[in-house]
Structure 1
Amino acid sequence: MRSERPYSKISISSKAAKSLKNGHPWVYGNEILSSEGELVDGSIVDCFEGSSWQGAGFYNSGSKIAVRIISRNSNDVFDGRFWYRRILYAVKYRMTVMQGDDFKCCRIIHGEADQMPGFTCDRYGDIAVTQIACLGLEMNKDVIYKALRDVFDEIGEPLKGIYERNDLALRTKEGLELFKGWYGGADYPCITEITENGIKYSVDVENGQKTGFFLDQKYNRTAAARIAKDKNVLDCFTHTGSFGLNCAANGARHVTSVDISSQAVEMAKANAVRNNLEDRIDYVCEDVFELLTNMAAKKDHSYDYIILDPPAFTKSRDTVDSAGRGYKEINLKAMKLLPRGGYLATCSCSHFMTDELFRKMLSSAARDAAVSLRQIEARTQAPDHPILWNVPETDYLKFYIFQVV
Structure 2
Amino acid sequence: MKYFSFDKTQRLKLTRDLTKHIKRGNPWVFSDAVEKIKAPEGTYVLLVSHKNEVLAHGFYSPNINLSFRMLTLGDKKFNDAMVEKRFRQAIENKKHLLSQENKCFRLLNGEGDELPGMVADFYDGVLVLKLDGAAAEAFWKKEAVAEFFMQQTDLPVKCVYFKRKNREEEKGLILAGECDNLTDLEFLEHGVKFRTNIIDAAKTGFFLDQRENRNFIRSVSKDKSLLNLFGYTGGFSIYAGLGGASKVTTVDIAPNAIKASEVNWQINLLSPEKHEALCEDAFEFVAEAQKAKRQWDIVITDPPSFAPNQKAVESAREAYTKIFADSLRLVKDGGFFAASSCSGHISFESFLEIVQEALSKSRRRGKVLLIKGQPEDHPFPFALPEMRYLKFVYLQVFQD
TM-score, normalising length from structure 1? 0.88
RMSD, aligned CA: 2.6
Q: Which residue of 2 aligns with 1:93?
A: 93
Judge conservation of contact 1:269–1:278 (CA < 8 Å) in 2: no
Q: Distance in 1 between matches of 2:282 and 2:133?
A: 35
1:373 and 2:366 equivalent?
Answer: yes
Judge conservation of contact 1:110–1:121 (CA < 8 Å) in 2: yes
Q: Which residue of 2 aligns with 1:57?
A: 58
Q: Which residue of 2 aligns with 1:403?
A: 396
Q: Which residue of 1 aligns with 2:153?
A: 155
Q: Which residue of 1 aligns with 2:172?
A: 180
Q: Which residue of 1 aligns with 2:280?
A: 286
* 2:356 alignment partner, one of 363, 366, 371: 363
Q: Distance in 2 between matches of 1:308 and 1:238?
A: 8
Judge conservation of contact 1:28–1:66 (CA < 8 Å) in 2: yes
Q: Which residue of 2 aligns with 1:166?
A: 164
What whole-Å deviation, never above 9, does each CA across 1:141-162 have from its counterpart, x for those lacking one?
Answer: 43x5434543564334342222
Assess, with a 3 A threshold, how the Cα gap between structure 1 residues 210 and 192 changes in structure 2: closer, same or farther.
same
What whole-Å deviation, never above 9, does each CA across 1:205-252 have from its counterpart, x for those lacking one?
Answer: 100111110000000011122111110111111111110110110111
SS at match of 2:13: strand
1:172-251 equivalences in 2 (<5 Å):
179-183=171-175, 188-190=180-182, 191-251=184-244
Range that drifts further, 253-262 or 210-219: 253-262
1:132-151 equivalences in 2 (<5 Å):
132-135=131-134, 137-142=136-141, 145-151=143-149
Q: Distance in 2 between matches of 1:187 and 1:375?
A: 44
* 1:252 alignment partner, one of 245, 253, 261: 245
What whole-Å deviation, never above 9, does each CA across 1:32-51 have from its counterpart, x for those lacking one?
Answer: 3598xx85542322222224
Equivalent AA in structure 1 for residue 88 of structure 2: L
Range that drifts further, 308-317 or 154-163: 154-163
SS at match of 1:304: strand
SS at match of 1:289: helix
Assess, with a 3 A threshold, how the Cα gap between structure 1 residues 298 and 138 changes in structure 2: closer, same or farther.
closer
Range that drifts further, 111-120 or 45-54: 45-54
Q: Which residue of 2 aligns with 1:271?
A: 264
What whole-Å deviation, never above 9, does each CA across 1:110-135 have from its counterpart, x for those lacking one?
Answer: 11111122111111121111111254
Q: Distance in 2 between matches of 1:315 and 1:133?
A: 14
Q: Which residue of 2 aligns with 1:24?
A: 26
Equivalent AA in structure 1 for residue 79 of structure 2: F
Q: How far apart are residue 323 of structure 1 and its match?
A: 2.1
What is the percent sequence identity of the aligned residues? 27
Assess, with a 3 A threshold, how the Cα gap between structure 1 residues 352 and 77 changes in structure 2: closer, same or farther.
closer
1:123-134 equivalences in 2 (<5 Å):
123-134=122-133
Judge conservation of contact 1:41–1:59 (CA < 8 Å) in 2: yes
Q: How far apart are residue 24 of structure 1 and its match?
A: 1.3
Judge conservation of contact 1:306–1:345 (CA < 8 Å) in 2: yes
What whole-Å deviation, never above 9, does each CA across 1:321-351 have from its counterpart, x for those lacking one?
Answer: 3222222222212222222111111111111
Assess, with a 3 A threshold, how the Cα gap between structure 1 residues 76 and 101 changes in structure 2: closer, same or farther.
farther
Assess, with a 3 A threshold, how the Cα gap between structure 1 residues 139 and 315 changes in structure 2: closer, same or farther.
closer
Equivalent AA in structure 2 for residue 201 of structure 1: F
In structure 2, the gaps of 5 or more residues are: 1-7
1:12 and 2:14 equivalent?
Answer: yes
Q: Distance in 2 between matches of 1:102 and 1:30?
A: 47
Q: Which residue of 2 aligns with 1:3?
A: none
1:295 and 2:293 equivalent?
Answer: no
Judge conservation of contact 2:102–2:189 (CA < 8 Å) in 1: no
1:43 and 2:43 equivalent?
Answer: yes
Q: Which residue of 2 aligns with 1:174?
A: none
SS at match of 1:183: strand
Equivalent AA in structure 1 for residue 114 of structure 2: Q
Q: Distance in 2 between matches of 1:102 and 1:137?
A: 34
Equivalent AA in structure 2 for residue 23 of structure 1: G
Q: Distance in 1 between matches of 2:363 and 2:67?
A: 49
Q: Distance in 2 between matches of 1:225 and 1:209?
A: 23
Q: Distance in 1 between matches of 2:259 and 2:314?
A: 33
Q: How far apart are residue 30 of structure 1 and its match?
A: 3.9
